[in-house]
Amino acid sequence: MYTARCTHKVLQALHLPAAAQYRPPSTALGDWYLNFIHTRNHRLVHFLSDRSLLSVVVPVRTLKTALERHVGLLHELLDDMGVNPAIIQAEIAEMRERAVATTRSRSVLASMRDLALNARACLEHTPRISCLELSRELSQIPCGPIEMALPADVAIGLLRKRHSGTERAPRGA
């Protein structure tokens, strides 16, 4: 269980009511914050883990399916980062249930703004970059709220800690 914490613009675009009650996340990566990244040639939804500051960037296409596509792209990103498949499956299974709510943390939103600036610069420099490649690039940017660690490293550590009993043959996480 996790909460998709949407900015006001995203909530309006999704036409979904915000949950009234807070439920703490059961996932290693915590709640996910959502905002848009718009450039001249790209319309994206930026998902950001509130615990690791790991970014997953999803093309808007059909906004109604963005939440489901986020989970699929997260799976791809974690696999690309070398996370053990059993750990990925355990985290994805925890994400089957979700709530939608408004944002709560100004710190996470500030990090999201900083990473969105980096994403825009990357898109300007490499316009044909895939969402997976862009997410990978953002996962390698040191972030102040996590003591200048890399979001990828923090995410892997959180996943290992939370799902250590699920790991069979270690591959990288």
Q: Is the pLDDT confidence value at 44 over 90?
A: yes
Residues 32 and 51: beta-carbon distance below 8 Å: no
Per-residue model confidence (pLDDT) at position 137: 98
* Gyration radius of the chain over CA positions: 15
Q: Is the pLDDT confidence value at 100 over 70?
A: yes
- Per DSSP (E only), the strands in 32-152 are 32-38, 43-49, 55-59, 98-102
Residue 59 lies in a domain: yes
Q: Is the pLDDT confidence value at 11 over 50?
A: yes
Count structural domains, the chain: 1
Residue 171 lies in a domain: no
Tokens of 170: 């270690």
List the 32-38 sheet strands across, edge first. Answer: 55-59, 43-49, 32-38, 2-6, 98-102
Q: Is the pLDDT confidence value at 172 over 70?
A: no
What's the whole-number mean pLDDT along residues 139-148? 97
What's the whole-number mean pLDDT along residues 25-49? 95
Residue 95 lies in a domain: yes
Residue 172 lies in a domain: no
**Alpha-carbon gap, residue 171 to 38, rounded angstroms:** 36
Model pTM greater than 0.85? yes
Q: What range does the domain containing 55 cover? A: 2-166
Residue 173 lies in a domain: no
